[in-house]
């Protein structure tokens, strides 16, 4: 006699888990279905995502873009509709550490931010940490997004991809033998072919395209070792003109990262070592009436080592360090018709860090970790030292409810300054210096996570507060940039800030209808003496941010869903008037960031129809509708120096349909 208990996931092969238990009893067969949530919350501040699970969520313009899904999570705000930057709990996206297999990447954004640079099918998992970092976290003030590439395939050769009206991508997975696997992904765009008439920046008609390439080679020399060699390269080209044309401008930005990641399982722990080379460069040129050329770049060479050792059943120890060599050209800018010629030469800096973190499981109810992160940042004119303690505590109320708390200090030695807003990478990086010391933060948070009705519903909420120091702000504007007396270094000012707010999220994990509602209420306040004697909102603050994501799996063939976003408009500085005096533009502006863009809201719909799914083969069609009710969300403000007026700009103020074919062979 035997008893067999089989528990299997419902939706995808990736989640299928089979448990078989056999015992000599009367023959009984019991079957129960277990469904994993799309978003796995380790705590109120940490969320892990299986990339394959994202395929069941509504697609964005035919794509399962990982960073677009992150923007729907409570505590992650968008700067505006046209950026895929990750702004976590009031911090700028440059204060978010984004990595591929542990290697940093600086600007993985496409199409004015509408797409990120990540091809979903090349990645296995993604982890978001908003605030509860331990001591191993690198020097950043905000959160972290960690992406892991695929490392193992069970098939000798598979190929899957997506052919759409905006872009197409393909991923090949090749088992090179019992101990190695190769993954190659590529994507290219042809946006202007069908959608050129929808892309408008005021009167400007841009011509735009982008490409991405991912290559990963994973070696498994022993059962305890994984060595992953990974490389990413992305390229964007944007041309802007006024038809027959008073203006001809071009922006070309490139991003690349190459890393070697080695993980080894030890008898009582493991270690992870990453060697990497990462870089981003941006070239700008404007011809015709104004001859302007600009260039900026940042590159990093580094190594990071983290070792975990289990000291006992209750105590875990993490320790290690990293070294990063940065080489940066903040801004090289030359104008043929204006006197504003900036020639910042290549700067060099060294970042050396060490850390240790002890995790103690007191009992089944309470655990905590205490860590220390210290380091130095060496530039030409100064050496900065930092010591950052961090404490995390976790309290299990019972099997379904838990609390977590965090307090710690953070340091960031790299600054990013934006000349203008609007989703374009018109910004530059600078190392800390005598004039601009390292950014600092004191961070604290308290969170709750609860599972209800046998994990049918999950509720998470987190209250946070961050005190910020040495925060940099660009006090200039595009009109001042056009004047002969403008010096951009003089427009960079620093001060203090406060980030505080609450994040709430309700997630439905089971049933044919699945999804979540997230809401964030947050303030990102800054106080800089050269700008204002009182606190003012940061340029990326979104006071209210509501996102509703729903998905209905009708049957095995049909899957429909939608995403609704409602958010406060971002702040900006409104001009009062402008005039010409002695052949120079003189502009008078109101209080800094005292005005707000209009409220942003948009509904996107997505429908998948699977034509064929058998024996590993799959063929289907996706129809996505972007901005269903054609609302014109204002993305940014353009200043007209001819009429001295403010012109609101909506990049995509109409419904955008997208049809794509997805396949797997």
**Least confident window among 29-43, 306-320, 458-472, 629-643:** 29-43
274 to 214, 277, 665: CA distances (angstroms): 18, 10, 33
Q: What backbone phi and psi angles, to 5 degrees, belong to 313?
A: -65, -20
Q: pLDDT above 90 covers what percent of the chain?
A: 49
> Is residue 247 over pLDDT 80?
no
Cβ(405)–Cβ(423) below 8 Å:
no
pLDDT (0 to 100) of residue 650: 75
**Residue 195 belongs to what H/E stretch?**
helix 191-195
> What's phi and psi for 126, nearest 5 deg?
-145, 140
Domain containing residue 210: CATH number: 2.40.170.20
Least confident segment among 5-19, 265-279, 495-509, 564-578: 5-19
Q: Is residue 305 part of a domain?
A: yes
Mean pLDDT of 360-381: 93
pLDDT score recorded for residue 325: 97
Over residues 61-71, the pLDDT tens digits come to 778 888 888 88
Identify which of 346-350, 569-573, 576-580, 652-656 has the greatest average pLDDT: 346-350
Element (H, E) at 478: helix 478-481
Say if 25 falls within a structural domain.
Answer: no
Q: How far apart are CA 623 and CA 192, in angstroms?
A: 19
Sign of the dihedral defined by the CA atoms of residues 216, 169, 10, 561, in that order: positive
pLDDT attached to residue 30: 42
3-state DSSP of 303-364:
EEEEEEEECCCCEEEEEEEEEEEEEEEEEEEEECCCCCCEECCCEEEEEEEEEEEEEEECCC
Beta-carbon contacts of 572 under 8 Å, excluding residues fewer than 6 positions away, are 421, 539, 593, 595, 596, 597, 636, 637
More confident residue, 575 or 414: 414
C-beta atoms surrounding 594 within 10 Å: 14
* Contact residues for 518 (Cβ-Cβ < 8 A; gap 6+): 72, 73, 74, 503, 504, 505, 506, 545, 546, 547, 549
The rounded distance, in Å, linking the Cα atoms of 150 and 220 is 13
Average pLDDT over residues 615-635: 89
Question: Under DSSP, is residue 192 helix (H, G, I), strand (E, B) or coil?
Answer: helix
Is residue 13 included in any domain, yes or no?
Answer: no
Q: Which two tokens stand for residue 585?
A: 């533009």
Q: What percent of the chain stands above pLDDT 70?
A: 82
CA 8 to CA 11: how far, in whole Å? 9
**Which of 190-204, 440-454, 553-567 comes out lowest in average pLDDT?**
190-204
Per-residue pLDDT at 620 exceeds 50: yes
Say if residue 583's pLDDT is above 90: no
The alpha carbon dihedral of 580, 584, 589, 595 has a sign of positive
- Other beta carbons less than 10 A from residue 364's beta carbon: 8
Question: What pLDDT, on a 0 to 100 scale, did the predictor assign at position 150?
Answer: 93
Domains of the chain: total: 1
Q: What is the mean pLDDT of residues 606-631?
A: 92
3-state SS, residue 94: helix
In a domain, 24, yes or no: no
144-158, 215-229, 334-348: which has the highest mean pLDDT? Answer: 215-229
The tally of CA atoms less than 13 A away on the side-chain side of residue 598 is 11
- Report d(CA 460, CA 393) in Å as an integer: 16
Q: Give residue 427's pLDDT.
A: 78
Rounded to an integer, the average pLDDT of 245-262 is 82
Closest CA relative to residue 114, chosen from 82, 69, 66, 71: 82
pLDDT tens by residue, 463-494? 999 999 999 887 765 555 555 555 667 778 89
Per the model's pLDDT, the better-predicted residue between 643 and 68 turns out to be: 68
Q: Are 301 and 324 in contact (CB under 8 A)?
A: yes
Q: What is the mean pLDDT of the chain?
A: 83
Across residues 496-514, what is the average pLDDT? 93
| Residue 421 to residue 571: CA distance in whole angstroms | 11
Q: 367 phi and psi, to 5 degrees?
A: -145, 155
Contacts 24+ apart (CB under 8 A), 254-257: 254/280, 254/281, 255/105, 255/106, 255/107, 255/108, 255/117, 255/279, 255/280, 256/231, 256/232, 256/280, 257/100, 257/103, 257/104, 257/105, 257/231, 257/232
Question: Can you say whether the dihedral through the CA atoms of 261, 50, 559, 62 is positive or negative?
Answer: negative
Pair 517, 457: CB distance under 8 Å: no
Residue 639 is predicted with a pLDDT of 63
Annotate 175-191 with DSSP letters as a single string: EEETTEEEEEEEEEE-H
Q: Which of 33-37, 216-220, 363-367, 626-630 has the lowest mean pLDDT?
A: 33-37
Residue 12 lies in a domain: no
Range of the domain at 608: 35-664
DSSP symbols for 39-70? EEESSSSEEEEEGGGGGGSPPBTTB--HHHHH
348 touches 329 (CB < 8 A): no
Return d(Cα 472, Cα 416) in angstroms, integer.
8
Question: Which tokens belong to 567?
Answer: 């958010």
Could you read off the pLDDT of 84-113 as tens digits, one per residue? 678 999 998 889 999 999 999 988 878 666
Q: Is the pLDDT of residue 210 over 70?
A: yes
Does 15 fall in a domain? no
CB atoms within 10 A of CB 266: 12
Q: What is the C-alpha end-to-end distance of the chain, expressed in Å?
A: 42
Residue 636 has a pLDDT of 72
- How far apart are alpha carbons 285 and 292 in whole angstroms? 5
Q: What is the pLDDT of residues 584-604, one digit of tens each?
A: 666 677 888 888 888 999 999
CB of 173 within 8 A of CB of 215? no
Could you report the per-residue pLDDT of 66-87, keeping only the tens digit for each?
Answer: 888 888 999 998 656 656 678 9
Q: What is the C-alpha to C-alpha distance for residues 218 and 190, in angstroms, rounded to an integer?
A: 32
pLDDT of residue 458: 92
Tell me whether residue 219 is in a domain: yes
541 inside domain: yes
Which of 130-144, 308-322, 643-657 is the least confident region? 643-657
């Amino acid at each position: 006699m035997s008893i067999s208990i089989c528990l299997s996931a419902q939706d995808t092969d990736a989640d299928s888990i089979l448990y078989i238990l056999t015992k000599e009893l009367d023959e009984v067969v019991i079957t129960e279905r277990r469904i994993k949530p799309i978003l796995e919350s380790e705590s109120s501040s940490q969320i892990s995502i299986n990339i394959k699970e994202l395929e069941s969520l509504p697609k964005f313009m035919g794509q399962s873009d990982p960073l677009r899904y992150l923007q729907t999570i409570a505590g992650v705000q968008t700067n505006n509709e046209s950026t895929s930057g990750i702004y976590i709990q009031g911090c700028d996206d440059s204060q978010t550490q984004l990595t591929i297999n542990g290697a940093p990447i600086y600007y993985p954004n496409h199409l004015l931010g509408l797409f990120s640079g990540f091809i979903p099918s090349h990645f296995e998992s993604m982890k978001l940490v908003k605030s509860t970092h331990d001591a191993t976290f690198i020097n950043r003030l905000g959160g972290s997004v960690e992406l892991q590439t695929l490392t193992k395939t069970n098939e000798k050769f598979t190929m899957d991809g997506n052919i759409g009206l905006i872009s197409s991508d393909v991923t090949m997975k090749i088992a090179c033998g019992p101990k190695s696997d190769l993954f190659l992904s590529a994507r290219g765009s042809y946006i202007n072919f069908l959608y050129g008439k929808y892309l408008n920046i005021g009167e400007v008609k841009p011509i735009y395209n982008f490409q991405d390439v991912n290559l990963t080679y994973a070696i498994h020399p022993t059962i305890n070792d994984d060595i992953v060699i990974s490389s990413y390269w992305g390229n964007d080209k944007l041309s802007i003109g006024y038809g027959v044309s008073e203006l001809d401008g071009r922006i070309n930005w490139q991003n690349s990262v190459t890393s070697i990641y080695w993980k080894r399982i030890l008898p009582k722990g493991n270690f992870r070592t990453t060697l990497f080379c990462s870089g981003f460069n941006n070239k700008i040129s404007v011809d015709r009436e104004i001859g302007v050329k600009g260039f900026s770049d940042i590159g990093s060479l580094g190594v990071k080592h983290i070792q975990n050792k289990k000291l006992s059943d209750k105590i875990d120890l993490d320790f290690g360090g990293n070294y990063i060599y940065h080489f940066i050209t903040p801004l090289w800018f030359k104008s043929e018709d204006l006197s504003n010629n900036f020639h910042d030469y290549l700067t060099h800096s060294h970042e050396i860090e060490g850390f240790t973190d002890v995790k103690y499981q007191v009992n089944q109810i309470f655990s905590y970790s205490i860590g220390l992160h210290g380091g130095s940042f060496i530039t030409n004119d100064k050496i900065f030292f930092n010591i950052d303690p961090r404490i995390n505590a976790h309290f299990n109320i019972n099997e379904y409810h838990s609390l977590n708390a965090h307090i710690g200090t953070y340091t960031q030695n790299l600054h990013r300054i934006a000349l203008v807003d609007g989703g374009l990478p018109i910004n530059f990086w600078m190392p800390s210096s005598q004039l601009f010391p390292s950014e600092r933060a004191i961070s604290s948070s308290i969170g709750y996570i609860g599972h209800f009705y046998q994990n049918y519903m999950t509720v998470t909420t987190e209250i946070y507060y961050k005190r910020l120091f040495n925060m940099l702000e660009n006090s200039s504007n595009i009109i001042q940039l056009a004047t002969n007396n403008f010096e951009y270094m003089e427009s960079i000012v620093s001060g203090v800030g406060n980030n505080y707010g609450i994040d709430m999220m309700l997630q439905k994990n089971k049933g044919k209808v699945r999804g979540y509602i997230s809401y964030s209420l947050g303030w990102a306040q800054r106080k800089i003496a050269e700008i204002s004697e009182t606190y003012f909102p940061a340029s990326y603050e979104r006071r209210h941010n509501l996102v509703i994501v729903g998905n209905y799996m009708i049957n095995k063939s049909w899957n429909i869903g939608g995403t609704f976003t409602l958010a406060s408009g971002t702040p900006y500085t409104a001009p009062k008037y402008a005039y010409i005096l002695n052949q120079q533009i003189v502009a008078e502006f109101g209080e800094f960031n005292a005005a707000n863009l209009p409220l942003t809201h948009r509904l996107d719909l997505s429908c998948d129809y699977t034509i064929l799914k058998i024996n590993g083969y799959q063929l289907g069609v996706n129809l996505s509708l972007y901005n269903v009710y054609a609302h014109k969300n204002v993305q940014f403000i353009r200043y007209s120096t001819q009429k001295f007026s403010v012109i609101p700009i909506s990049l995509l103020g109409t419904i955008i349909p997208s049809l794509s074919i997805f396949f797997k062979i």
